[in-house]
Amino acid sequence: MGFIKRLFGISVTPSPADSSCWEVKDGQILLDLTKAPQLKNPGGAIRLENKGLDKRVLVFCDEQGQLHAMHNKCACAGWRLDPHVSSSTVQCCTLGMSTYSYDGQVISGSAKEPVQVFEVEREDNTVVINLA
């Protein structure tokens, strides 16, 4: 990520290309992978915001093809997060670069608290993210 983007806290993780790929229902996010091609390959990621969500959610695919979801808010200053699959970490999009493991624990940077991780269940092309 470039210096200018980090300076202004601009996340590189996009919103889904097809906003109809997900919905919030009964405390869960229901995600249709056939409409979210960004998540089909390792390193792919999307950020889910609005549509009744009280928290921003980052969803990404790791090197083994497993999906992960976490609260998309750095514990240091509230900026968005971006996955860095090559290092199996998630990092704040700002110059502070607080870095987290996939289980939300702080690895480095100024953040002192972990990031909330959500349970992800996948069956074929349907993903359920439990927000509780």
pLDDT, tens only, 56-111: 999 999 999 999 999 999 988 889 999 998 899 999 978 778 999 999 999 999 89
**Percentage of the chain modeled with pLDDT above 90:** 80
Please give the domain boundaries of the chain with CATH numbers for all domains. Answer: 3-130 (2.102.10.10)
SS (H, E, C) 3-65: HHHHHHCCCCCCCCCCHHHEEEECCEEEEEHHHCHHHCCCCCEEEECCCCCCCCEEEEECCCC
Tokens encoding 40: 């089909």
- pTM score, two decimals? 0.93
